[in-house]
Structure 1
Amino acid sequence: MDVQELEAFWWIAQTGSFNRAAERLYLTQPSVTARIQSLEKELGQVLFERRPRGVRLTDAGRALLPHAERVLQAIRKARQAVSDLVSATGGTLAVGSALTTSTYILPEILARYKAAYPGVEIMVRTGRSQQIQQLVLDDTVQLGLVHAPVAPNPELLTVPLYAETIVTVAHPDHPLAGRGEITLEELAGEPFLTPDRSSGYWSVVEQFWASAGLVPHVTMELDSIEAAKRMVMHDLGITMLPRSCVEREIKLGQLAVLRVRDAEKLTRETVLIHRRGKVWSGLVRSFLGVLKDMYGVDIDLGAPAA
């Protein structure tokens, strides 16, 4: 059953006239007649009774009308859904995010995006960076925000977004908090907390200690950054965390940053990952525009979808 035939049928039913239906469809009256004849032939039923002042539906036509309306409405919705994706006025954006990024960075990104594109629904999936990488490869999410380094994969493209320092934090009343620059040797005897050794940035911390030929005096192993933060806030030791994770507590005076010599080399990079060669909608491109405004990166995904 042809959609154009159903459109002609619906307009004739609404206007009661082949001529008026032809005007609405920007067609000639013979073209509309041909479409109805083709539809009637397929159904094996006459759909309209010809009368002196127009036409009216037969029993078969009345039976067909609600189904034709549902089909045409579904087509209109489908067209609108695609249009919304292009214009970023609707649809669903699926983003994958590493755990710490989803907690401390992603809320601001999404708040800015929703302010600019309120009609878009957002789905967020969180996990370890390698888990998010797989979600991108599986097309479960359109884009991923993860921490470098990313395991090489010929199907993925990686775009650096920003780098942040990893800072050493202690309770504000800690004896070292009021000092100037301190050495790693001075920290070696302090109670040290590990906030989830499987976290991607922790290998950078371990390499930093190892490069000095030292090992921290670990007194507590925790499974989250938040837990480690709370322990430090209760003066139970010191730890090293990405700056974004402790920015608020530093501003409130709940944590103090220790100035450790050579610690400027302690950084963590957050990157955007996406599938190579995909055709991107305006919805995704609008999200990338927000990232560009926030971080000054220009992400080239190729030509937009037609």
Structure 2
Amino acid sequence: MRVTLAQLEAFFWTVQLGSAGRAAQHLAISQPTMSLRLKDLAEAVGCELFERNGRGLRVTADGRALLPRVEAIMAELRQISGRDPHLDVAGAVRIGLAEGFAVTCLSPLLTALQEDYPTMQPEWVVSTSTTLESALMRDALDLAVLLNPVGDDRMRLTPLGAQPTSWVAPATWAFGRAVTPKDLQDLPVISNPQPSAMHRQITGWFATAGLEPARLSLCTSVAVIAELVAGGIGAGLLPVRMVERHVAAGTMQYLVTNPTVLNGRLYVGVRTGVDDPKTRAVARTIGRVLQSIDYLQT
């Protein structure tokens, strides 16, 4: 049996949309015709290309291996026909964002994705980086922007750059010099719980002086921590861009510290072995947006 362009197109759009039914609707063909094309392609290449995943389909390892070659063929067809390549990135994609990053970057990122890929349907999950890592590795996310990830062989990380980070405190707190771990040890400090990147950063900073924060309060929301600091409750370690409005309003101050704070490192994470057009498209748009809003430290 020979491979046809109709079969390859059926395979491509089923991967993109995650469902043979949605692919059939997109191509304006019947469900039985779509199923037959996928069946004939699997027989022609001699391997199973999809496996059931709930109500949808998931690409097999053999299907992932075939996908780049099919994408290349589709790209050639687009060039021949003059078709907009952005229209070939469609369907749902599950994107996780570390919360401190999302507060500043989600709005411009959502706008950019709508402009770049109007038929894409992003599903956003905002949480701590540690929670997102776990979700990514159990296939509950397709892609995530992670802060200081622990890393795992099941995950491929691509660095984005440094996220400027600073100790911040209520504007009413007075310090006459660079703040040390000893200065903050007995003051209220607010952090995400273990094993979050924020908690590791905070305890690591105190550990440089052999100390632990004596009045550490835990909160799962980075955005709420910022509000608590601005409300005079305690100090926190937060992304600089996230708290600019509080500093400008005069309710919060950046602290000059000794030792200095290490900036967070941002990465795009995907599962090892996954090479999907939608995740690549999202990653490209993330990089472009971060450059356009000058978010990362050079």
TM-score past 0.5 threshold:
yes
Larger Rg: 1
- 2:30 — aligned with what? 74
Most deviating of 272-281 and 214-223: 214-223
CA gap of 1:243–1:275, structure 2 versus 1, over 3 A, is: same
Q: 1:134 & 1:183 partners in 2: Cα distance?
A: 34
Q: 1:74 & 1:95 partners in 2: Cα distance?
A: 31
Q: 1:234 & 1:278 partners in 2: Cα distance?
A: 44
Contact 2:100 2:242 in 1 (8 A): yes
Offset from partner CA, 1:32-86 (integer Å, 9 cap, x none): xxxxxxxxxxxxxxxxxxxxxxxxxxxxxxxxxxxxxxx963369969xx979x9
1:148 aligns with 2:177: no
CA gap of 1:193–1:131, structure 2 versus 1, over 3 A, is: closer
CA gap of 1:113–1:251, structure 2 versus 1, over 3 A, is: farther
Contact 2:143 2:269 in 1 (8 A): yes
- 2:223 — aligned with what? 226
Q: 1:92 & 1:167 partners in 2: Cα distance?
A: 35
- 2:248 — aligned with what? 251
Unaligned 5+ runs, structure 1: 1-70, 297-306
- 1:91 — aligned with what? 91
1:195 aligns with 2:191: yes
1:110 aligns with 2:110: yes
1:161 aligns with 2:160: yes
Residue identity matched to 1:149: P
Contact 2:159 2:267 in 1 (8 A): yes
RMSD, aligned CA: 3.4
- 1:274 — aligned with what? 270
Q: Give the CA deviation at 1:201.
A: 2.0
Q: Give the CA deviation at 1:130.
A: 4.1
Q: Give the CA deviation at 1:218.
A: 0.9
SS of the equivalent of 1:201 reads helix
TM-score scaled to structure 2, two decimals?
Answer: 0.61
Residue identity matched to 2:163: E
SS of the equivalent of 2:190 reads strand
What is the aligned counterpart of 1:183 among 167, 175, 180? Answer: 180
- 1:119 — aligned with what? 119
CA gap of 1:119–1:215, structure 2 versus 1, over 3 A, is: same
Percent of pairs with identical residues: 18
- The number of aligned residues is 218
CA gap of 1:274–1:256, structure 2 versus 1, over 3 A, is: same
SS of the equivalent of 1:203 reads helix
SS of the equivalent of 1:105 reads helix
Residue identity matched to 2:159: P
Contact 1:97 1:132 in 2 (8 A): yes
Q: 1:118 & 1:136 partners in 2: Cα distance?
A: 24
SS of the equivalent of 2:197 reads coil
TM-score scaled to structure 1, two decimals?
Answer: 0.60
What is the aligned counterpart of 2:288 among 293, 301, 306? Answer: 293
Contact 1:105 1:244 in 2 (8 A): no
Q: 2:32 & 2:257 partners in 1: Cα distance?
A: 62
CA gap of 1:88–1:138, structure 2 versus 1, over 3 A, is: farther
Contact 2:133 2:149 in 1 (8 A): no
Contact 1:143 1:274 in 2 (8 A): yes
CA gap of 1:133–1:172, structure 2 versus 1, over 3 A, is: closer
Contact 2:93 2:142 in 1 (8 A): yes
Contact 1:169 1:238 in 2 (8 A): yes
Contact 1:166 1:267 in 2 (8 A): yes
CA gap of 1:110–1:150, structure 2 versus 1, over 3 A, is: farther
Contact 2:86 2:116 in 1 (8 A): no
Q: Give the CA deviation at 1:180.
A: 4.7
Q: 1:73 & 1:206 partners in 2: Cα distance?
A: 58
Q: 1:218 & 1:269 partners in 2: Cα distance?
A: 27
